[in-house]
Structure 1
Amino acid sequence: MPTSTSALPRLIALPKAEVHVHLEGTFEPALLERWATEAGQRLPRPRDQLLQFSGLTDFLAFLDWACGLANTPERLASLARAFSERLAADGTGYADLIVNPTHWSAWHGKLRGFIDALDAGFREAEQMGLPKVGLCVSLLRTQSADEAVELVDLLSAWRHPRVVALSVDGNEATAGRTGPRFAEAFRRAGQAGLKRTVHAGESSGPEGVRDAIELLQADRIDHGVRAIDDPSVVDLLVDKGIPLGVCPSSNLVLKVYPSLDAHPVERLRAAGVRLSLNTDDPSLLGTSLPGEYALCATHFGWGDDVLRALAQTSIAASFADTDTKARLQAQLASW
């Protein structure tokens, strides 16, 4: 997405967190081409069209193909390190990273090994002084209630220090209403001390956001932008102080909204909804976190006070530990 480049150095220096970003969306095209060649696989479409998506359904199918190439612990660890390097380059001090095990076909039935391999890469990155990362392990909307409970029970038994939250993602438009199906899994997650973050209000309407709040007890909502279609849902977000992790460029590329003029991020902010800006799938969508800030600041005329407030929300809404939050808040105060 086109952005104002003159502001990027200041926005890289802005202390901030990222709370809505998927590991599945951080593959670089050159890496995918190399791994596909090594596996003897053809690219799903010509190289110059590899990252051209017709919509969310096409995009999710591409993720399944890409993740299937990451079939060794070493490849997972390298993805983790590369993600941490991306955070540092963007000036991001912490990230809640979403991973959906259903996309990673080589790791089906090997969830603990999957998490351990990523953890090894993140521990190595942290030892190099790179930002901390927490994992939000995500359900896919088409999974059953029993599968959801099974995942939560495993996470609860392991209590892996890298895992900070349960998530749910996938195409709301094709899966239909899923809040009632996953309510028990999210209830158990809360009892186990896991945070809860929910994709809602992207390809569904505001009813998905309401379900995320009332049925899944979401601590944070990913996207949530379609809440704007129902003033009562906007009021619910404001009254409960539930933050949205908004991804403007993603919503444009995947055709949730036709233009930034039509995007409701400014209307939601003006209504008092707590917001953070995020990349969703930065490599595949051609964006960066400073780029998202620059894009919106330029288009909506946001000044430093708005940018600082968005960054503050990103830190407060993250699932980082207390010390990490305090450090980033202190840095933000002097930006």
Structure 2
Amino acid sequence: MNTNTTSTDRLRTLPRAEVHVHLEGCFEAAMLEQWATRFGEPLPRPRERLFQFEGLADFLHFLDWACGLVRTREELAESAYAFSQRLAASGTGYADLIFNPTHWSHWHGRLPAMVDALDAGFRAAEQDGLPPVGLCVSLLRTQSADAAAELVDGLLQMKHPRVVALSIDGNEAAAGRTGPRFAEAFRRAGAAGLRRTVHAGESSGPEGVRDAIELLGADRIDHGVRAVEDAAVVQLLADRQIPLGICPSSNLALGVCPSMAEHPIEPLRRAGVPVSVNTDDPALLGTCLEHEYAMCADTFGWTDAELRAVARTSIDASFANDDVKASLREALACW
């Protein structure tokens, strides 16, 4: 398929879900500057270079700063509503949205209030006809097993219908192997009916993907691209049909892949691994979902049938309810 036929306008009409996107990565520069001014906080660098990062560590530090500007229920609800508007603008029908409580300094120890405030924003958005959103609450890889158990206890006690999954993210390379540390927390979450999604195979190699599957019981893996370095791990993903939530622009920006032509999404897809296309941190990376699809289509020559197949994976891999999935699949069949 050539560039003319993979215009972002056309891809905006492709029915699909997004399964790997972080609330912390959806703040626009103007909003952050407004909040920083309100609270007398200096910007970490000039606004025109605000989203220029030196690597994953710098990126994660920035997330802590940005989330530290969110101090009231109203700002959280505003963030949620703005995210739903972003989905609608890209033509996305549903999202599993990851957020990590450790980044939000003013909300530590207040997870129920945080979820409730976000839920208020999402409910208002849905009432206005914007797409539905599920929340994936994330651990940070540097946390302890006790902290993981405490988070799972809180989620199980809350039983909030907006929360669909337990997640884990953070810098795998800096944290080292953490699968054994968090295995029990993920086991308990799964046994209680929460879905499980795991960042792996980004700053870690294929061994991180194997741990996500075998130790954490991952229903879905966020990134997972470095699985391509081990044929046995690729085969494991294909055999078990464990989907990967892949984020091409993010991988390029953070140096996981040297170029789009060398991106592993296509060899993984051809090996039978279910892959979806996602944005990760769209505001910080200056991207949108239709652009990510267009990059893949143009680089790998995806046909309409292949675009539909990847979009179908995004719907199937999502933690949306059956009605939402059925509606999206029906729309996709007509695209």
So what's the TM-score if we normalise by structure 2? Answer: 0.98
**How far apart in 1 are the matches of 2:33 and 2:248?**
28
Residue 274 of structure 2 is matched in structure 1 by 274
Deviations along 1:177-225, one digit per CA (max 9) or x if unpaired, are: 0000000000000111000000000000000000000000000000000
Between the aligned partners of 2:292 and 2:19, the Cα distance in structure 1 is 13
Q: Deviations over 1:121-158 (max 9, x none)?
A: 00000000110000000000000001101110110111
CA distance in 1: counterparts of 2:321 and 2:47, whole angstroms: 41
Greater shift after overlay, 251-260 or 65-74? 251-260
Q: Which amino acid aligns with 2:329?
A: Q
CA contact 2:6–2:298 (8 Å) conserved in 1: no
Distance 1:4 1:197, change over 3 A: farther
Q: Distance in 2 between matches of 1:292 and 1:48?
A: 23
Where in structure 2 are the equivalents of 1:75-86 lying within 5 Å? 75-86=75-86
Using the TM superposition, give the Cα deviation of residue 262 of structure 1 relative to its aligned residue in structure 2, in angstroms: 2.0
Structure 1 contact 64–104 (Cα < 8 Å) conserved: yes
For 2:181, give the aligned amino acid.
R
Identity %: 71
Q: Unmatched 5+ residue regions in structure 1?
A: none
Match of 1:162 in 2: 162
Q: Secondary structure at the match of 1:92?
A: coil
Residue by residue, what CA displacement relative to the aligned partner does 1:25-75 show, whole Å, maximum 9, x if unpaired?
Answer: 000001111111111111001222111011111100000000000110000
Amino acid in structure 2 at the alignment position of 1:138: S
AA aligned to 1:332 is L
Partner of residue 189, structure 2: 189
Between the aligned partners of 1:253 and 1:324, the Cα distance in structure 2 is: 32
- Coordinate RMSD, CA, aligned: 1.0
Distance 1:227 1:6, change over 3 A: closer
Moved more, 40-49 or 240-249: 40-49
Which amino acid is the alignment partner of residue 115 of structure 1?
V
For residues 267 and 165 of structure 1, the distance between their equivalents in structure 2, rounded to whole angstroms, comes to 28
SS of 1:199's equivalent in the other structure is strand
In structure 2, what is the equivalent of residue 150 of structure 1? 150
Aligned residues: 333
Q: Check the 8 A contact 1:4/1:294 in 2, yes or no.
A: no
Asked if 1 retains the 8 angstrom alpha-carbon contact of 2:168 and 2:197, the reply is yes
1:59-92 CA-to-partner distances (Å, cap 9, x unmatched) read 0000000000011000000000000011111110
Structure 2 partner of 1:63: 63
Aligned to 1:205: 205
CA contact (8 A) 1:275 1:313 kept: yes
Shift of 1:6: 6.0
**What is residue 119 of structure 1 aligned with on the other side?**
119
Partner of 2:11: 11
Identify unmatched segments of 5+ residues in structure 2. none
Q: Deviations over 1:241-287 (max 9, x none)?
A: 00000000000011111111221111101111000000000000011
Normalised by the length of structure 1, the TM-score is 0.98
Runs of 4 or more, structure 1, over 3 Å off, are 3-6
Residue 310 of structure 1: how far off its partner (Å): 0.3
Q: Deviations over 1:275-308 (max 9, x none)?
A: 0000000000011000000011011111101100
